[in-house]
Amino acid sequence: MAGSGEWSPTMDATEEIQKICDQMKPDVDKMTGVNYGEFKAVKYRNQIVTGQYYIIKVYVGGEEYIHVSLYRKPDGVVTLRGVQHKTKDDLLKPFPK
């Protein structure tokens, strides 16, 4: 695990990460204008600050993947920061909104 303020290495998605993705799927659908049939977290990175930033690689069907940028506040509230369409092999890198 990375120290405070540093991005972690890329890790396999956990049940907790999938739950966060499930919670945020309606916001992702709204932001992208797409209702994804599949929405499976594959890999993720996080950064611990006051709260946590996440970048999550999500499989959305066929050959398609997206990277989802999220922020979880100290009180547990998660907000969507951005979505990028990516490939299976694209590295998880921080990206702006």
Indicate whether 91 belongs to any domain.
no
CATH code: domain of residue 20: 3.10.450.10
Residues 41-92 pLDDT 10s = 999 999 998 899 999 999 999 999 999 999 999 999 999 999 999 999 999 9
Cut 0.75: pTM above it: yes
- When pLDDT is averaged across residues 14-43 and rounded to a whole number, the result is 96
Indicate whether 3 belongs to any domain.
no
Residue 9: the pLDDT is 96
Indicate whether 30 belongs to any domain.
yes
C-beta separation of 41 from 18 below 8 A: yes
Indicate whether 79 belongs to any domain.
yes
Indicate whether 63 belongs to any domain.
yes
Indicate whether 95 belongs to any domain.
no
Residue 5: the pLDDT is 78
Indicate whether 25 belongs to any domain.
yes
pLDDT at 1 over 70: no
For residue 24, the enclosing domain spans 11-86
CA distances from 44 to 33, 82 (A): 23, 15
- The structural domain count of the chain equals 1
